[in-house]
Structure 1
Amino acid sequence: MSRIYYRGGMSPFETFSPGYILTHNVIGTNVGNFLYLNGVLRSLMIDDNTVIQANYYNTNYYKPEYVNENFDCFVIPLADAFRENFVNELNELTSFVKKLKIPCYVIGVGLKESYEPDFSQPKPQDEAVKKFVTAVLEKSNCIGVRGELTGKYLETLGFAEGRDFMVIGCPSMYMKGKRLHIQNPKLDVNSKVCFNSNVAASVPTRKFIKLKMKEFENHYFIGQVVNELRSIYLGAPYEYKIEYNFRNVTDKIYQDGRLRFFCNVPKWMEFLNDSDLTFGSRLHGNIAAVLAGTPALLVTKDSRTRELAEYHHLNAIHESKLNEKLTLQELVEQQDFSQIEKYQKQNFDRYVAFLKKNDIPNIFMDGEDPQETAFDRKIKQTDLLEGIVPVSQCSLEEIAERNRDYYTNLDEKLDRLSKKLNFTSDLLQKERIKNQKIATEPLSKKVVNKVKGFLK
Structure 2
Amino acid sequence: MTNLGHTPPFRISAPGKRICFWGAPAHVPPFGSLFEGLDLTGANTGNLFIGHGLFHGVDCAHKAFHPGFGAIPAERLHEHFDMLFVPASNFVGNGVDLTAHADYFARTRLPIFCFGLGSQLRPGEAPALKPGTERLLHLLAERGGSIGVRGAFTADVLWRMGIRNTSIVGCPSLLGLQASALERLAAARPALDKIALNLSNNVRRHALHPEAMRTSENGLFQRLLGENAFYILQNERPEIELLAAIAAGEAAKVTDAVQRIADIFDISGSRDDIKAFLERRVRIFYAVDDWVGCMATMSLAIGSRFHGNVAALLAGTPSLCLVHDMRTRELCELLRLPHVVLDRRIAAEELLERGLDADFGPFLANRPRLMTEWSLFLARNGLEPVPETTRAPALAEMLA
Matches of 2:106 and 2:292, distance apart in 1:
38
After TM superposition, list the pairs within 5 Å mapping 1:299-338 onto structure 2: 299-324=322-347, 326-338=349-361
Which of 159, 162, 185 aligns to 1:155? It is: 159
- Secondary structure in 1 matching 2:57: helix
Matched with 1:99 is 107
Equivalent pair of 2:31/2:37 in contact (CA under 8 Å): no
- Secondary structure in 2 matching 1:84: coil
Structure 1 counterpart of 2:182, which letter?
Answer: L
Q: Deviations over 1:356-410 (max 9, x none)?
A: 221235xx33x35689xxxxxxxxxxxxxxxxxxxxxxxxxxxxxxxxxxxxxxx
In the TM superposition, residue 346 of structure 1 has moved relative to its aligned partner by 1.1
Matches of 1:159 and 1:325, distance apart in 2:
41
The structure richer in strand per residue is 2
Equivalent pair of 2:25/2:47 in contact (CA under 8 Å): no
Matched with 1:145 is 149
Cα distance change of structure 1 residues 328 and 159 upon mapping to structure 2, 3 Å threshold: closer
Q: Deviations over 1:298-356 (max 9, x none)?
A: 11111111101111111111113453263554222443233211112211221232122
Structure 2 counterpart of 1:118, which letter?
Answer: G
Matches of 1:61 and 1:20, distance apart in 2:
26
- Secondary structure in 2 matching 1:275: coil
Structure 1 counterpart of 2:169, which letter?
Answer: I
Matches of 1:129 and 1:151, distance apart in 2:
16
- Secondary structure in 2 matching 1:4: strand
Cα distance change of structure 1 residues 23 and 15 upon mapping to structure 2, 3 Å threshold: closer
- Secondary structure in 1 matching 2:36: helix
Matched with 1:171 is 172
Which of 117, 121, 125 aligns to 2:129? It is: 125
Matched with 2:43 is 29
Equivalent pair of 1:193/1:220 in contact (CA under 8 Å): yes
Equivalent pair of 1:187/1:329 in contact (CA under 8 Å): no
In the TM superposition, residue 262 of structure 1 has moved relative to its aligned partner by 0.9
In the TM superposition, residue 51 of structure 1 has moved relative to its aligned partner by 2.8
Which of 190, 194, 197 aligns to 1:195? It is: 197
Which of 308, 311, 316 aligns to 1:293? It is: 316
In the TM superposition, residue 22 of structure 1 has moved relative to its aligned partner by 1.8
Please give the root-mean-square deviation of Cα atoms over the aligned residues, in Å.
3.0
Matched with 1:180 is 182
Structure 1 counterpart of 2:288, which letter?
Answer: V
Which of 286, 289, 299 aligns to 1:263? It is: 286
Cα distance change of structure 1 residues 325 and 110 upon mapping to structure 2, 3 Å threshold: closer
Identity %: 21
Matches of 1:22 and 1:15, distance apart in 2:
10
Single out whichever of 261-270 and 91-100 deviates more from structure 2. Answer: 91-100
Matches of 1:153 and 1:93, distance apart in 2:
21
Structure 2 counterpart of 1:152, which letter?
Answer: D
Matches of 2:389 and 2:111, distance apart in 1:
25
Matched with 2:11 is none
1:252 and 2:308 correspond:
no
Which of 17, 33, 39 aligns to 2:53? It is: 39
Equivalent pair of 1:169/1:312 in contact (CA under 8 Å): yes
Matches of 1:334 and 1:72, distance apart in 2:
47
Equivalent pair of 1:21/1:27 in contact (CA under 8 Å): no
Matches of 1:9 and 1:142, distance apart in 2:
19
Matched with 2:6 is none
Q: Deviations over 1:233-272 (max 9, x none)?
A: 33455578951499899822134x1111111101100110
Equivalent pair of 2:25/2:50 in contact (CA under 8 Å): no
Matched with 1:209 is 220
Equivalent pair of 1:94/1:132 in contact (CA under 8 Å): yes
1:53 and 2:65 correspond:
yes
Which of 111, 118, 137 aligns to 2:119? It is: 111
Equivalent pair of 1:126/1:157 in contact (CA under 8 Å): no
After TM superposition, list the pairs within 5 Å mapping 1:378-397 onto structure 2: none
1:74 and 2:84 correspond:
yes
Cα distance change of structure 1 residues 369 and 222 upon mapping to structure 2, 3 Å threshold: farther
In the TM superposition, residue 9 of structure 1 has moved relative to its aligned partner by 6.2
Equivalent pair of 2:199/2:304 in contact (CA under 8 Å): yes
Equivalent pair of 1:6/1:75 in contact (CA under 8 Å): yes
- Secondary structure in 2 matching 1:67: helix
Cα distance change of structure 1 residues 20 and 331 upon mapping to structure 2, 3 Å threshold: closer
Structure 1, gaps ≥5 residues long: 372-456
TM-score by length of 2: 0.78
